[in-house]
Amino acid sequence: MLDISCAELASRLDANAPIALLDVREDWELEICAIDQALHIPLSQLSGRLDELAPDIPLAIICHHGVRSRHAGLLLEDHGFKELFNVRGGIDVWALEVERDMSRYD
């Protein structure tokens, strides 16, 4: 698993590059802010919902700050996913650098 910056992820999403985005935050967090292109599967449900992900497509994983997304990436690696990216700084940095009008939370 590699790290990807929020700016690089935004660029790849804008260019329709082959990359999917997985948000592993909880439902209540998505009520505050979310990225439209992201598939939402809370980390606690991920192992039971692996069939919703395509293992042959590069996958960026995001959470609030980058810890849960790293755990999700390790789980996915254990299940054969190859091209995984942990979004460095999570949605908090996304809100600071990419979508500056996005709500933030602690």
The catalytic site residues sit at 63
How far, in Å, are 28, 49, 58, 66, 83 from residue 3 at the CA level? 25, 23, 12, 10, 11
Pick the closest to residue 42 from 69, 79, 16 (CA basis). Answer: 69
102 contacts 31 by C-beta, under 8 angstroms: no
